[in-house]
């Protein structure tokens, strides 16, 4: 084997080996974080129970080996989020778009734990407007206005995707956007 071809094989292996990322999945309890992550992994809806602590899993998506840290959203567990911020390449914030009453709480959590979080400074943020299969779900353009993120996120790469972890709508597109951001880091 020539020196050039062993070098290119080594380089290829190294490039492949380095396509790894840690992604943090945040959001209120019952937003659908765990259901969504299960959908991405298995391509089908699977029922889930409220998370206690966190679920850490790996996922292969479009050539990326992604470590998913899916935290418990209940308020009494949110202090546990702190230990997971370091080393995150991107964050996903899942919102129950059909639960209008809890949108102000979702906005506060998004602001405190992502926008104003120095540990997550500058990383891309994928906001999932989940539960779009429900008739009362608010869609992305209105959700952006209600959350005020068009103003808050001025200095940040972010997007909002309408999704459903029940029927898979928008899930593949949202994750494709995310890995495209990882390619640019």
Ligand X SMILES: Nc1nc2c(ncn2[C@@H]2O[C@H](COP(=O)(O)OP(=O)(O)OP(=O)(O)O)[C@@H](O)[C@H]2O)c(=O)[nH]1
Among the listed residues 24, 72, 91, 153, the single contact to ligand X using CB under 6 A = 72
Q: How many CB atoms lie within 10 A of CB 56?
A: 12
In this chain, which stretch among 6-14, 70-78, 84-92, 119-127 interacts with ligand X, using CB under 6 A? 70-78
The pairing of strands 125-130 and 158-162 is parallel
Interface characters, 12-51, with ligand X (x: CB under 6 A): ---------------x-xxxxxxx-----------xx-xx
CB 51 within 8 A of CB 45: no
26: its two tokens: 């945040």
Rg (CA), the chain: 17
Instruction: Give the interface segment with ligand X, choosing from 15-23, 102-110, 130-138, 154-162 (CB under 6 A).
Output: 130-138
Stretch that binds ligand X, among 67-75, 100-108, 115-123, 143-151 (CB under 6 A): 67-75
Least distance from ligand X to the Cβ atom of residue 124, Å = 20
Residue 50: strand, helix, or coil: coil
* Token couple for 185: 């880091």
* Residue among 33 and 84 whose Cβ is closer to Mg ion: 33
């Amino acid at each position: 084997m020539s020196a050039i071809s062993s070098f290119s094989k080594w380089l290829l292996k190294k490039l492949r080996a380095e396509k790894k990322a840690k992604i943090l999945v945040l959001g209120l309890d019952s937003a659908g974080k765990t259901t969504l992550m299960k959908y991405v992994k298995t391509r089908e809806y699977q029922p889930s129970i409220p998370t206690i602590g966190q679920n850490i899993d790996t996922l292969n998506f479009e050539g990326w080996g992604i470590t998913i840290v899916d935290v418990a959203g209940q308020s009494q567990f949110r202090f546990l989020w702190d230990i997971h911020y370091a080393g995150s390449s991107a964050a996903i914030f899942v919102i129950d778009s059909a639960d209008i009453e809890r949108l102000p709480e979702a906005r506060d959590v998004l602001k405190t734990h992502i926008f104003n979080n120095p540990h997550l400074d500058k990383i891309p943020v994928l906001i999932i407007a989940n539960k779009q299969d429900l008739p009362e779900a608010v869609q992305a353009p209105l959700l952006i206005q209600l959350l005020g993120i068009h103003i808050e996120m001025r200095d940040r790469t972010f997007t909002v995707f309408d999704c459903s972890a029940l029927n898979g709508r928008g899930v593949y597109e949202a994750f494709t956007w995310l890995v495209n951001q990882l390619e640019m880091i």
